[in-house]
Amino acid sequence: MVNDYDLDFYVWTQRQSALLRSREWEKLDWDNLAKEIESMGKQERRELKNRLCVLVGSLLKWKYQPEQCCASWEATIAVQQDDIQDLLSENSSLKPFLEEAFLSGYKKGRLLAIAETNLLPSTFPNEPPFDLDYTLTGDL
């Protein structure tokens, strides 16, 4: 059976929200609700990894291409640090996942820095040249 979930996700969300508010439990699309709630949690983890990737890439460019440093890099670093802190404040259960996300973010951020600087890959170490604490709070 095709339902709103398959046809128009927005309509489905509005209907499920109304059903929850009116406590019409028997009409809820439980399977898809569960799937979407799980997806929301995964989205927060993905956002953390993505923000760390952008942050690390910018820190690497700052460190290994100092002659190109500019205000936009500095702003990107500051915004990503602030947004990561906000994300962790709003989702404290992500903190145990932080080190793993940092290492994943470093790998991708390194690739980003290589692509954006045209420096040799060997310029950027395979292991982070800075720790997680510096990444999240360090001044330039």
* Tokens 């993905």 -> residue: 46
Q: Collect all residues with Cβ–Cβ distance below 8 Å to 19 and sequence separation of at least 6.
A: 25, 27, 28
* Amino acid at residue number 99: E
Q: List the chain domain ranges.
A: 4-137
Position 41 scores a pLDDT of: 87
Q: What tens digit of pLDDT does each residue of 74-116 get?
A: 999 999 999 999 999 999 999 999 999 999 999 999 999 999 9
Tell me if residue 2 falls in helix, strand or coil: coil
User: pLDDT confidence of 14, banded at 50, 70, 90?
Assistant: very high
- Assess contact for 62 and 54: CB atoms under 8 A: no
**Structural tokens at position 121:** 């890959």
